[in-house]
Structure 1
């Protein structure tokens, strides 16, 4: 084992291959996180840009996540606060999923490349 490590330490080719794999894994990881962020932004951009009338009780408010709230959304300030909270939650979930996928893809990349 000592001979193998000393051989790897002296060889510039092995260090170059390791650095190449590390750079490739970093690029894949960054690309996946960017892809998940863009997908989440594309999902919520229409709702964020929609002009909703919060005083009209006959129509349903456009929200990112449909759920029952323990309060009535009757002012624009409450509506924007709910949208901001939902946006943060969607982005956190998207980044978490992106990091989780990037870790697995990085592990697979390091093994098979």
Structure 2
């Protein structure tokens, strides 16, 4: 299995838009044609196509032509990679906050800071 590098900037920029987040949610549940997706939104077919193209460039969805339709499905691997990145950042931040609490507690107790 080839592990792809997550293009976090592209993924999170794509997910910054509510319509694109909704599209990803829909196609992770069930593949859908671009035509079917366009019916869900009060915008033109072309606008929905552009949203799908942004999601495709971010690797959040894949498109497959089947006859006259373009079927869109969510890319679970990219979503998992983004979630993993966020979890790592959360652990890093939580560790720093915990260390800050420890330092404040030591200072309040009058203990010297850091190793002796």
TM-score (norm 1): 0.37
Which protein has the larger Cα radius of gyration, Structure 1 or Structure 2? Answer: 1
Where is the helix percentage greater, Structure 1 or Structure 2? 1
Where is the strand percentage greater, Structure 1 or Structure 2? 2
TM-score (norm 2): 0.36
